[in-house]
Amino acid sequence: MAGRIAIAVACLLCLALVAWGVWPTDRDEPSDATTSVAASPVSNRPIVVPADGYVGSSSCRECHEREYDTWHASYHRSMTQLPTPEAVVGDFEGTEIQIHDLKYAFYRDGDEFRVKIYDVNKPDEPPDDKPIVLTTGSHHFQAYWLPSGKTRVLDVFPALYRIDDGRWMPLAAQFLHPPDFDHAFFARSGAWNITCNRCHATHSRPRIQDGHHMDTQVSEFGISCEACHGPAGQHVQNMSAGVKEMAIVHPDKLSPIRSAQVCGSCHGTMDYKTQEDFEHWTEHGFAYRPGEDLFAHRSAVDSGERQYWADGMLRVSGREYNGLAASPCFDHADASQQMTCLSCHQMHPHGDDSRPLKEWANDQLKLTMDSNRPGPHNDQACTQCHQQYADEAALTAHTFHEAASTGSRCYNCHMPHTTWGVMKAMRSHTISSPHIEESLAPVGRGNACNLCHLDKTLGWAADQLHERYGHERPELQSDQENIAAALLWALSGDAGQRAVISWNMGWQPAREISGDAWMVPALAQLLEDPYPVVRSTAYRSLGKIAGFAQLEYDFVGDLPQRAAARQAARAIWESQQREPNPTTLLEQDGSLDQKTFDRLVGRRNNRDVFLEE
């Protein structure tokens, strides 16, 4: 979140570290008697204690079956779970992973999930043997938490399970960070209690006891009804007693901005407004309630190269509020014209929606707001307000592409995949129009035309934008005129650019119009990239090209293995036939212009990039 595992919000975590004093290290272990565990016999992890008018989802079910069922199918519900056999997706059947000097052996003991931790330098010592006490995530990854031995403070488990690949991987490999970055940063004790649970549970209270202990409580694990509807105790009481007053928040009935803030309380990059706000959070949970003004107690974080491109556009996932708020569609005098998350997303699909709930749950879009569906429907996300483009002639006059073309989908030009998180590129939630300037230094973000027309140069896009939209044609460097922009980003770009372009090289619409055989040398090169996320993404994109699905490779494997995979990919490629094309560095006989290729690789921008998802 993506960085999230670690530190979705490093600034907040740092603030927390300062406020909490020295990180727990060498103090006496507490006895159970010193902690308030009256509500539960469990003493080694955070517990569920509904408070402050929050009553929990089970009390809604009998009256709101449809909303309950749709929520139950969402990844919101399963974001934080106790490690039951239904919840745990990781492979605990005798699997192992080694990270630095520690080897972790996963096993199951009845319904308990456990791990033995061996120090490989001390083969004679018995392993540490610990239970998993909490899980995070159920969509892309599942992360695990161990008891720290200090009250309810949790330690993060340094490996996570990648669900689509069905494999364990080091936690640190999920994030886009310099390869020599101190991995201990991702494994600090107490991060769940004070940081992650802000957005991964409902009405959480870290409850710091002293410099080393926390008696953390939540009203419900996961993102439950009341995270979006506010505390519902009064509502349940009223409805049960036949009292008419609703006493509950309905996001659709709020103003568009207040509605977006309900989501923004988690899908946003925010700081506490004052030290008092921070202390209120650690002791009583957030003062903010859905429906209120989010910025009474928080301030938006609007800049910083770990989250924003140099022109101020958000570049990390999970922070969609800040992205959307920067869109021209967001803040408008006429409230009926204001965009909100619910312009496109829907938290409870209706009965007439025939999609399986699992399909909806991926992105939780309204039926006609899915960008991947061909045909006119998927443009409703934009034409619900920009009605002038609902007409086919007006559409093609605006896009210069056939109406049914992927080049006529509003999303593809105005919300391209330039945001990074959970090991993939995703659509920017700042609505913008393609311009060449955004692709030049110091910003260097792929423009929508070149992110689909991957085999074309920046010069080509600049000419087209000039002819079609009257944009001024800037002067470009000779490589920018002569070599496909995608190759420049993949070979000479910084790690952030390499990650985004390697994802877009696997994007189906782009591969259809640009061809993909020419990408192989570049993607093979990226199998040896210093950044694990770049290697992983390149491998996935490579696997979509005919002939490469079976290539063996482990993106966290050792250097010789990576080099061998690159050579194997090149060998397969050399045996295939290709058309010449100077912009993609293919010579008359279809072979690679290795000299220019090597020159571009030699110019790789090695600056440190760290993205805080």
Let me know: does 344 contact 57? Beta carbons within 8 Å.
Answer: no
Q: Which is nearer to ligand HEC, 364 or 497 (CB)?
A: 364
Q: Does 420 bind ligand HEC (CB under 6 A)?
A: no
Q: Does 248 bind ligand HEC (CB under 6 A)?
A: yes
- In this structure, the dihedral spanned by the alpha carbons of residues 57, 231, 45 and 20, taken in order and rounded to 10 degrees, is 160
Let me know: does 218 contact 197? Beta carbons within 8 Å.
Answer: yes
Question: Contacting ligand HEC (CB under 6 A), which of 81, 209, 307, 343?
Answer: 343
- Name the one range near ligand HEC by CB under 6 A: 18-26, 95-103, 319-327, 578-586: 319-327
Let me know: does 24 contact 148? Beta carbons within 8 Å.
Answer: yes
Q: Which is nearer to ligand HEC, 151 or 195 (CB)?
A: 195
What is the chain's length?
613
Q: Does 188 bind ligand HEC (CB under 6 A)?
A: no
Question: Contacting ligand HEC (CB under 6 A), which of 155, 320, 438, 479?
Answer: 320
We find the least distance from the C-beta atom of residue 166 to ligand HEC, in angstroms, to be 14
d(CA 580, CA 67): 56
Q: Does 136 bind ligand HEC (CB under 6 A)?
A: yes
We find the least distance from the C-beta atom of residue 557 to ligand HEC, in angstroms, to be 22
Q: Does 408 bind ligand HEC (CB under 6 A)?
A: yes
We find the least distance from the C-beta atom of residue 588 to ligand HEC, in angstroms, to be 21
d(CA 327, CA 320): 11
Let me know: does 257 contact 340? Beta carbons within 8 Å.
Answer: yes
Q: Does 218 bind ligand HEC (CB under 6 A)?
A: no
We find the least distance from the C-beta atom of residue 231 to ligand HEC, in angstroms, to be 8
- Name the one range near ligand HEC by CB under 6 A: 43-51, 280-288, 392-400, 541-549: 392-400
Q: Does 612 bind ligand HEC (CB under 6 A)?
A: no
CA distances 9 to 37, 80, 145, 149, 320, Å, are 30, 18, 19, 25, 14
Q: Taken in order 317, 320, 324, 325, is the CA torsion positive or negative?
A: negative
Let me know: does 70 contact 347? Beta carbons within 8 Å.
Answer: yes
Q: Does 134 bind ligand HEC (CB under 6 A)?
A: no
Rg (Cα) of the chain, in Å, rounded?
Answer: 25
Let me know: does 484 contact 513? Beta carbons within 8 Å.
Answer: no
Question: Contacting ligand HEC (CB under 6 A), which of 97, 254, 431, 534?
Answer: 431
The residues in 143-162 that bind ligand HEC, with binding defined as CB under 6 A, are 143
Residues 6+ apart with CB under 8 A from 179: 530, 531, 532
Q: Does 191 bind ligand HEC (CB under 6 A)?
A: yes
Residues 6+ apart with CB under 8 A from 94: 105, 106, 107
Whose tokens are 């706000």? That residue is 277
Let me know: does 468 contact 450? Beta carbons within 8 Å.
Answer: no
We find the least distance from the C-beta atom of residue 127 to ligand HEC, in angstroms, to be 24
Question: Contacting ligand HEC (CB under 6 A), which of 152, 297, 414, 511?
Answer: 414
Question: Contacting ligand HEC (CB under 6 A), which of 294, 316, 341, 533?
Answer: 341
Question: Contacting ligand HEC (CB under 6 A), which of 17, 385, 476, 551?
Answer: 385
We find the least distance from the C-beta atom of residue 123 to ligand HEC, in angstroms, to be 32
Q: Which is nearer to ligand HEC, 449 or 486 (CB)?
A: 449
We find the least distance from the C-beta atom of residue 329 to ligand HEC, in angstroms, to be 3
Cis peptide, bond prior to residue 442, ω within 30 of zero: yes
Question: Contacting ligand HEC (CB under 6 A), which of 10, 208, 239, 517?
Answer: 239
- Name the one range near ligand HEC by CB under 6 A: 31-39, 43-51, 329-337, 556-564: 329-337
d(CA 320, CA 419): 10
- Name the one range near ligand HEC by CB under 6 A: 19-27, 175-183, 252-260, 562-570: 252-260
Whose tokens are 């407004």? That residue is 273
Q: Which is nearer to ligand HEC, 71 or 539 (CB)?
A: 71
Q: Does 345 bind ligand HEC (CB under 6 A)?
A: yes
The residues in 5-64 that bind ligand HEC, with binding defined as CB under 6 A, are 5-9, 55, 57, 59-60, 62-64
Q: Residue type for 136, please?
A: T
The residues in 59-118 that bind ligand HEC, with binding defined as CB under 6 A, are 59-60, 62-64, 67-68, 71, 75-76, 79
We find the least distance from the C-beta atom of residue 303 to ligand HEC, in angstroms, to be 17
Let me know: does 154 contact 145? Beta carbons within 8 Å.
Answer: yes
372: nearest Cα among 355, 385, 392:
355
d(CA 493, CA 181): 20
The residues in 437-496 that bind ligand HEC, with binding defined as CB under 6 A, are 448-449, 452-453, 461, 464-465, 468-469, 471
Question: Contacting ligand HEC (CB under 6 A), which of 234, 368, 384, 581?
Answer: 384
The residues in 490-549 that bind ligand HEC, with binding defined as CB under 6 A, are 509, 513
Question: Contacting ligand HEC (CB under 6 A), which of 35, 364, 418, 541?
Answer: 364
Q: Which is nearer to ligand HEC, 143 or 526 (CB)?
A: 143
- In this structure, the dihedral spanned by the alpha carbons of residues 313, 316, 320 and 325, taken in order and rounded to 10 degrees, is -20
Q: Residue 556 corresponds to which tokens in the numbers above?
A: 């966290």
193: nearest Cα among 138, 136, 141, 240:
136
- Name the one range near ligand HEC by CB under 6 A: 43-51, 239-247, 475-483, 578-586: 239-247
Number of residues that bind ligand HEC (CB under 6 A): 127
d(CA 160, CA 3): 13
The residues in 580-609 that bind ligand HEC, with binding defined as CB under 6 A, are none
The neighbour count for residue 202, using CB atoms within 10 Å, is 26
Let me know: does 486 contact 504? Beta carbons within 8 Å.
Answer: yes
- Name the one range near ligand HEC by CB under 6 A: 36-44, 84-92, 125-133, 313-321: 313-321
